[in-house]
Amino acid sequence: MEAPPGGVDDMTRLSYLHEPGVLQNLATRYELNEIYTYTGSILIAVNPFQRLPHLYDTHMMEQYKGADFGELSPHVFAIADVAYREMINEGKNNSILVSGESGAGKTETTKMLMRYLAHLGGRSGVEGRTVEQQVLESNPVLEAFGNAKTVRNNNSSRFGKFVEIQFDKTGRISGAAIRTYLLERSRVCQINTPERNYHCFYFLCAAPHEDTQRYKLADARSFHYLNQSSCIEVEGINDAEEYLATRRAMDIVGINEEEQEAIFRVVAAVLHIGNINFAKGKEVDSSVIQDDNSRFHLNTASELLECDCNNLEKALITREIVTPEEIITRTLDPESALASRDALAKTIYSRLFDWIVEKINVSIGQDPNSKQLIGVLDIYGFESFKINSFEQLCINYTNEKLQQHFNQHVFKMEQEEYTREEINWSYIEFVDNQDVLDLIEKVLISSYFSYYDRSHKMQGSYDVTSKAK
């Protein structure tokens, strides 16, 4: 049977279900501005790289509300609608997994899903900060601190996110929780052209003068953590406007003025920390603050962090080694002091990010009585660069794990359907990635336990119960 000229909207209807056929079908539909296509109950979205407002307006939302799956053209709203109706009618909790490589459109898709769920479960006519409004406004805040310009995407999320939306008995949104995973910490200290560091650094450098003065900030180009890349400005992002927009979004999610001040103080402190340099000290393998300029940044960082300047200096140029008998303080050579400076900056920044997420969660509030929820998982896709680090290992392992879950779920579903319809079926061949998972899980888990054993024996506190924990 010939494929229709406009392609098919469900790829299970393709006569030949192989890679060229799938790609051809997606390309044909894309040419006609049809960015969504089903494969059974899965939705494939092809990034349009242009705003298509008619696809997501209220009129469109209303059309998909309660419509049978497959009755209308494939759409992300249809997926959310199924999840919502199953929850209401069958009391089933559902999670929607949004996956794909960087720049594929996961975050945009997640936003559309949340907007639709907010439309279904929102309270019309309620003034002020509603839960759904807070959930939606958490996006710009999280994006300011967790997104950056990368080679592939000007607004790339550098963390994974699971949003759990809770509903009350009547199907209204009653609470929400945001969990984030694995923020890319290395970006805080190391970037290459044409990428940027996290947006918030540039937003803050472009803030109104009285703000930059308060944090003793100058042009973004004067900070080491930003000027390692020649990319400072991004087309389509107005950093000064985004700074104000981020502040407004913070107001909505319940981060008050004082807390906002504290957050931006920490952001500025990280920039100042990055400009502290070291020279060789008099002793062997020791270092000192390099010059007046570095001392200015050290003093400013300690002022902003409200910590003692001498202690901060000591923390950067020495290392404490804790042994069972005593604490040994060792001086660091300039190279090690730089590594210790960067480690401090990364830790402060990632803790700030976690604090912001926690703050948003407290402010949105969870509904302890909610028995019904829909989760949306926006997780980074596979990554493979010229040089890959531990972060890529974790990201790719997560994806392999999700792939395994997906295989099991889809094949189980298929097999149940065949049994239900009394169709004779034989085992379906598929690429099973269990070997990859075993390689990582068995090696990592066993080495974790052997490390655990050794470290506890060393401290003399090893016992079977603590191992079991």
Ligand X SMILES: Nc1ncnc2c1ncn2[C@@H]1O[C@H](COP(=O)(O)OP(=O)(O)OP(=O)(O)O)[C@@H](O)[C@H]1O
Annotated binding site for ATP: 100-107
Q: What is the distance of C-alpha 396 from the center of its chain? A: 14
Q: What track of x and - describes contact with ligand X for positions 305 through 334 (by CB under 6 A)?
A: ------------------------------
In the complex with ligand X, the residue whose CB is nearer, 370 or 403, is 403
**Distance between start and end Cα atoms, the chain:** 60
Catalytic hit among 37, 139, 147, 156: 156
Q: Binding segment for ligand X among 36-44, 47-55, 171-179, 225-233 (CB under 6 A)?
A: 47-55
Mark whether 302 is an active-site residue: no
Least distance from C-beta 338 to ligand X, angstroms? 29
HSE-CB at 261 with a 13 A cutoff on CA atoms is: 8
Return the range that interacts with ligand X (CB under 6 A); candidates 48-56, 242-250, 302-310, 445-453.
48-56
Q: Does 49 bind ligand X (CB under 6 A)?
A: yes
Alpha-helical regions (H) of 275-389: 292-305, 309-317, 334-364
Binding span for ligand X by CB under 6 A among 16-24, 41-49, 186-194, 315-323: 41-49
Nearer to ligand X, 156 or 166 (CB): 156
Half-sphere exposure of 225 (CA within 13 A, CB side): 29
DSSP code at position 291: S
Contacts 24+ apart (CB under 8 A), 1-5: none
Amino acid, res. 274: G
> Of residues 132, 242, 383, 400, which has the active-site annotation?
383
Burial 233-246 (b: 16+ CB within 10 A, else e): ebeebebeebbeeb
Pick the closest to residue 197 from 230, 225, 157 (CA basis).
225
Residue 90: left (phi > 0), alpha (psi -120 to 50), or beta?
alpha
Among 63, 102, 331, 403, binds ligand X (CB under 6 A): 102
Q: Which of 25, 139, 157, 287 is catalytic?
A: 157
> What residues from 154 to 173 belong to the interface with ligand X (CB under 6 A)?
155-157
Shortest distance, position 55 Cβ to ligand X, whole Å: 7
Contact set for ligand X, span 188-207 (CB under 6 A): none
Catalytic residue among 21, 70, 103, 375: 103
Contact criterion met (CB below 8 Å) for 140 and 249: yes
Question: Applying CB under 6 A, which of residues 29, 106, 115, 149 lies at the interface with ligand X?
Answer: 106
Q: Is 15 a catalytic residue?
A: no
| Closest approach of ligand X to the CB of residue 143, in Å | 9
Report, in Å, the least distance between residue 104 CB and ligand X. 4
Q: Is 103 a catalytic residue?
A: yes
- Tell me 13's DSSP state: G
Is position 107 annotated as part of the catalytic site? yes
How many angstroms separate the CA atoms of 9 and 61, rounded? 19
Cα–Cα separations (whole angstroms), residue 88 to 64, 66, 160, 167, 169: 16, 11, 28, 9, 8
Single out the residue of 52, 126, 444, 445 in contact with ligand X (rule: CB under 6 A). Answer: 52
Query: How far apart are the C-alpha atoms of 166 and 175, rounded to whole Å?
Result: 5
**107 is a contact residue toward ligand X (CB under 6 A):** yes
**Closest CA relative to residue 383, chosen from 102, 128, 165, 139:** 102
Shortest CB 449 distance to ligand X, Å:
33
CA dist 232 and 31 (Å) reads 35
Residues 78/65, Cβ–Cβ less than 8 Å: no
41 scored as a contact of ligand X (CB under 6 A): no
Residue from 21, 48, 171, 375 touching ligand X (CB under 6 A): that is 48
44-52, 205-213, 302-310, 329-337 -> range binding ligand X (CB under 6 A):
44-52
Q: Which of 346, 342, 323 minimizes the C-alpha distance to 332?
A: 342
Residue 397, classified by CB atoms within 10 Å of its CB into exposed (0-12), middle (13-18) or buried (19+), is middle
Interface pick for ligand X out of 34, 108, 211, 333 (rule CB under 6 A): 108
Secondary structure of residue 80 in the 3-state scheme: helix
Give the one residue of 22, 44, 67, 104 binding ligand X; rule: CB under 6 A. 104
383 as an active site residue: the answer is: yes
Q: How far is the CB of 35 from ligand X (least distance, A)?
A: 7
Q: Is 229 noted as a catalytic residue in this protein? A: no
Which residue, 102 or 366, is less far from ligand X as judged by CB? 102
Q: How many CA atoms lie within 13 A of 222 on its CB side?
A: 11
Contacts of 133 (CB under 8 A, 6+ apart): 118, 252
Closest contact distance (angstroms) between CB of 252 and ligand X is 21
> Does 51 engage in binding with ligand X (CB under 6 A)?
yes
Q: Identify whether the C-beta of residue 158 lies closer than 8 Å to the C-beta of residue 198.
A: yes
Least separation in angstroms between CB 350 and ligand X:
18
Continuous segment of H or E residues that includes residue 187: none
- Which residues lie near ligand X (CB under 6 A)? 47-49, 51-52, 100, 102-108, 153, 155-157, 380
Residues recognised as catalytic:
102-103, 107, 153, 156-157, 381, 383
